[in-house]
Amino acid sequence: MTPGQYILVVDDDDDFREALSEVLVDAGYPVQQAENGEVALAKVDEEAPGIVLLDLKMPVLDGWGVMERMRGDAKSAAIPILILSAYGFEWEAELLGAQGYIPKSVGMDEILERVRKAAGPPPMRH
């Protein structure tokens, strides 16, 4: 991630989304949240994130639809996406262009470690 970019956390589970966002902010990452795919795409269109952490099963527009639309748009096609899901869709997610798959069951410390590997260190704070 470059300075000025943020991590977009997309999940319809308010508690999980808030908890993950708090862990990421505490680690030094700027974070924005979206509760469904439509809100996520609006945020991506407004200001491109450095990486998207995306749940698959959501109302309004699910993670599959978000990935398909992001990968089909030149502005967002190269934005890294990590899938966060309680369901085992690892190979399908990578087939659609996700950079990785993280089972929600691994816990916040492991999720943070995998985000660090994908996003790099947090931007410098001033």
Per-residue pLDDT averaged across 18-24, rounded? Answer: 98
Q: CATH for 7-118, among 3.30.379.10, 3.40.30.10, 3.40.50.2300, 3.40.50.1370?
A: 3.40.50.2300
Q: Is the pLDDT of residue 4 over 90?
A: no
List own/partner pairs for 102-111 with CB under 8 A and 24 or more apart: 102/53, 104/16, 108/19, 108/20, 108/23, 111/20, 111/23, 111/84
pTM for this model (two decimals): 0.92
Average pLDDT over residues 98-119: 92
Contact 48, 76 (CB under 8 A): yes
Which among 31, 63, 65, 67 has a CA at the least distance from the CA of 49?
A: 31
Q: Give 117's contacts (C-beta < 8 A, 6+ positions apart).
A: none
As a residue count, the chain comes to 126
Sign of torsion over alpha carbons 87, 91, 93, 96: negative
pLDDT digits (tens, 9 = 90+) for 49-103: 999 999 999 999 999 899 999 999 999 999 999 999 877 666 677 777 889 889 9
What is the structure's pLDDT at 1? 73
pLDDT band at 111 (very low <50, low <70, confident <90, very high): very high
In this prediction, residue 71 carries a pLDDT of 93
Kindly tell me if the per-residue pLDDT of 126 is higher than 60.
no
